[in-house]
Amino acid sequence: MDALDRIIGKIVNVLTLFTCLLMLLLTVVVIFEITSRYLFNLPITFTDELTGIFFPWIVFLTAIDVTNRDEHIAITMFSDKLTGGARKFNKLLIKAIMLMFSLFMVQSSFLLCQETANISLPVLRFLTKAQVYSGIVFSFSFISLLLFLQMVKIWRDKSLTRENGAA
């Protein structure tokens, strides 16, 4: 799994860099919009749509990095008290629930993309709503893969089945 972990890590790092660039671009677009609207009294309509495109992609691509680092919000008061097999089962159960939600999001967002494939954006007419929503499909597909691999690691981790429950 070490080679696979390195490959996944590199992919996540590239996606994180891409997300940072999107965030920088979003910042430039918003500053440009504010400047043109309030200093020059010249609102530019496409900047609002660009913001609406960039923001979901930033949010959902960031979720990939959060999942990879296992830094999501978690209440661990109960699970920290478990040891041995119970701790391992608890970790697997939590990841399985997250995986089921993630797969549900893949399916739902894919259906949303299908439903909106022919709906063009009002100003940037060469883009469709499906292209905006495709970030959700991509992100949750990758998150599902990460969660599956994390479950395999937990399953194979012998230290979780020892009585001390050290992770």
Give the pLDDT confidence of 105-153 residue by residue, as tens digits. Answer: 999 999 999 999 999 998 888 999 999 999 999 999 999 999 999 999 9
Q: How many whole angstroms from its chain centre is CA 138?
A: 8
Residue 165 has pLDDT above 50, yes or no: no
For the chain, give every domain's residue range.
2-160
Token pair recorded at residue 149: 């691999």
pLDDT of amino acid 167: 42
pTM as predicted: 0.84
- Res 93 pLDDT > 70: yes
CA distance 113 to 92: 31
Give the whole-angstrom CA distance, residue 160 versus residue 86.
9
* Dist CA 67 CA 151 (whole Å): 12
Token pair of 19 as six digits: 């997300």
